[in-house]
Amino acid sequence: MPNKHNSIDIKIWNRDFEVEVEFDTYSDGTILDCQKDAIKELVRKKHIIDDSLPKVKEYCKAIDGEKIDGEIDNIFKYVIPRTFYIQSPNDKISHVVGLICAYKFNPDYGLVLKYVDEQLQEIGTSNIIY
């Protein structure tokens, strides 16, 4: 059950954003300490998000290259960060954070960067995080 919890002011790919924070919670709304730690660590190590920019551009070109003319100079023409979604932990992984972005070519499912233990694991649509 998603639980909205504030927002974070953060610079992503050299632009300032106010990004919502949403936690996957139990029915009673409990947010676990490891979930709070997951978002704190990713924000603290925000270079991990910044370092993912080339992979985001690669993804956009691979999926929708025929709609994009030339190189992507301004990623924000296509991708806008909106929400950090922090999953509940499982037995093997405690830190799973999705950066959910609006995506020009897929307004229904967006573009999601999935970070596991502060490392980019996957880029895809919202189904990789929910």
Please state the domain count of the chain: 1
Q: Which residues is 105 bridged to in the sheet?
A: none
Whole-number pLDDT of residue 111: 98
First to last CA, the chain: 10
Whole-number pLDDT of residue 48: 97
Q: Could you read off the pLDDT of 77-117 as tens digits, one per residue? A: 999 999 999 998 887 788 999 999 999 999 999 999 999 99
Closest CA to 72 of 41, 46, 110, 104: 104
Domain span holding position 91: 2-128
Q: Could you read off the pLDDT of 38-65 as tens digits, one per residue? A: 999 999 999 999 999 999 999 999 999 9
CA distance 53 to 89: 26
Q: What is the mean pLDDT of the chain?
A: 93
Region 64-74: mean pLDDT is: 94
Whole-number pLDDT of residue 27: 82
